[in-house]
Structure 1
Amino acid sequence: MPTAPPTRCARVDCYEMATKRGLCDGHQPEPWRGRPAPSKRYGMSSGTMRSLKRRVAMRDYGCCYVCGGEDADELEHIVPVSQGGAARDLDNLGLIHSEPCHREKTAREALEGSRRAREIKTQSQDRTQ
Structure 2
Amino acid sequence: MPRAAQVCYQHGCTQRVAYRGRCAEHAPPAWETRSARNQTRDRAWERHVRPQALVRDGFACVRCGAREGLEVDHITPVARGGSSTLDNAQVLCRDCHRAKGIEDRKK
Q: Same fold (TM over 0.5)?
A: yes
**Is the 1:64–1:72 Cα contact (8 Å) retained in structure 2?**
no
1:79 to 76, 79, 102: 76
Q: Larger relative CO (CA 8 A, sep 6+): 1 or 2?
A: 2
**Which one has a bigger Cα radius of gyration?**
2
In structure 1, C-alpha distance between the alignment counterparts of 2:63 and 2:51, rounded to whole Å: 18
After TM superposition, the runs of 4+ consecutive aligned structure 1 residues lying more than 6 A away are: none
Within 5 Å, give how 1:50-61 maps onto structure 2: 50-61=47-58
In structure 2, C-alpha distance between the alignment counterparts of 1:68 and 1:91, rounded to whole Å: 20
In structure 1, C-alpha distance between the alignment counterparts of 2:57 and 2:69, rounded to whole Å: 10
Structure 2: runs of 5 or more not aligned? 1-34
Structure 1: runs of 5 or more not aligned? 1-33, 113-129
State the match for 2:86 in structure 1: 90
Higher percent of residues as strand: 2
Aligned Cα root-mean-square deviation (Å): 2.2
Q: Structure 1 residues 72 and 62 mapped into 2: Cα distance closer, same or farther (>3 Å)?
A: farther
Give the TM-score taking structure 2 as reference length. Answer: 0.56
State the match for 1:3 in structure 2: none
In structure 2, C-alpha distance between the alignment counterparts of 1:90 and 1:108, rounded to whole Å: 22
State the match for 1:36 in structure 2: 37
The answer to whether residue 62 in structure 2 is matched with residue 65 in structure 1 is yes
Higher percent of residues as helix: 1
> Displacement of 1:68 after TM fit?
2.6
Matched residue count:
73
Q: Counterpart amino acid of 2:37?
A: P
Counterpart of 1:71 in 2: which secondary structure? coil
